[in-house]
Amino acid sequence: MAPSQTLSRQERELLNRYQRDFPLQPRPYAAIAEALGMREDDVLTLLAGLRDRGVLGRVGAAVRPNSAGASTLAALAVPATQLHAVAGQVSAMAAVNHNYAREHEYNLWFVLTAANDAELDRTLADIKAATGLSPIKLPLEAEYHIDLGFPL
């Protein structure tokens, strides 16, 4: 396991402050630099360093779920001896964009996205046909968290 990265004060401030409200203006890094009392070059260098160390995934947009098309969480209870094979079958499907092994009777958890709900159901039926196991479909009914980013 790679050791965890530690952050300098400046890096922590930058990451905590700009998980949201990244400036939507022509020179966003210059605006950040001004707010933090830095230079634009230094902000860019610092972010590139964080990215190269694997600490920064990206600077980008987080989109509301189901805003374009349909998606659902689904789970399968897979016998332990078949987990590897079934996980491979599920991951191979284009509609699957997250697939996690978790410790529970329902041990394979995945997110499906498709153009619409009927297509989601077809994919779930395909999974059942391919694996002989019945997925439970757990679509989002309401969302409660206030997505402010994550304090570091």
Partner 1 sequence: MKPPDDIDRRIIVATQAGLPLVPEPYRALADELGLAVEDVMARMQAMLDGGLIRRIGAVPNHYALGYRANGMTVWDVPDDAIAELGKMVGALDFVSHCYHRPRHLPHWPYNLFAMVHGRDRDEVSEKTAHIAELMGVKERGHQILYSQRILKKTGMRFTA
CB of 129 to partner 1, least distance (A): 19
Task: Work out whether 132 is an interface residue with partner 1 (CB under 8 A).
Answer: no
CB of 27 to partner 1, least distance (A): 6
Residue type, 55: V
Decide: residue 94, CB within 10 A, 0-12 exposed, 13-18 middle, 19+ buried: exposed
Number of residues counted as binding partner 1 (CB under 8 A): 79
Name the residue nearer to partner 1 (CB basis): 24 or 129: 24
Rule CB under 8 A: choose which of 37, 57, 79, 132 binds partner 1.
57
> For the window 6-45, what string marks contact with partner 1 as x by the rule CB under 8 A?
-x------xx--xxxxx-xxxxxxx---------x---x-
Q: Retrieve residue 141's tokens.
A: 């009914």
CA nearest neighbour of 99 among 84, 79, 118 = 84
Kindly report the number of other CB atoms within 10 A of residue 91's CB atom. 13
Q: What's the length of the chain?
A: 152
> For the window 59-98, what string marks contact with partner 1 as x by the rule CB under 8 A?
xxxxxx--xxx---x-x-x---------x--xx---xxxx
- Name the strand (E) or helix (H) holding 73: strand 70-76
Rounded Cα gap, residues 1 and 4, in angstroms: 9
Name the residue nearer to partner 1 (CB basis): 97 or 130: 97
Rounded Cα gap, residues 38 and 31, in angstroms: 10
CB of 116 to partner 1, least distance (A): 8
CB of 70 to partner 1, least distance (A): 8
Rule CB under 8 A: choose which of 8, 39, 42, 53 binds partner 1.
53
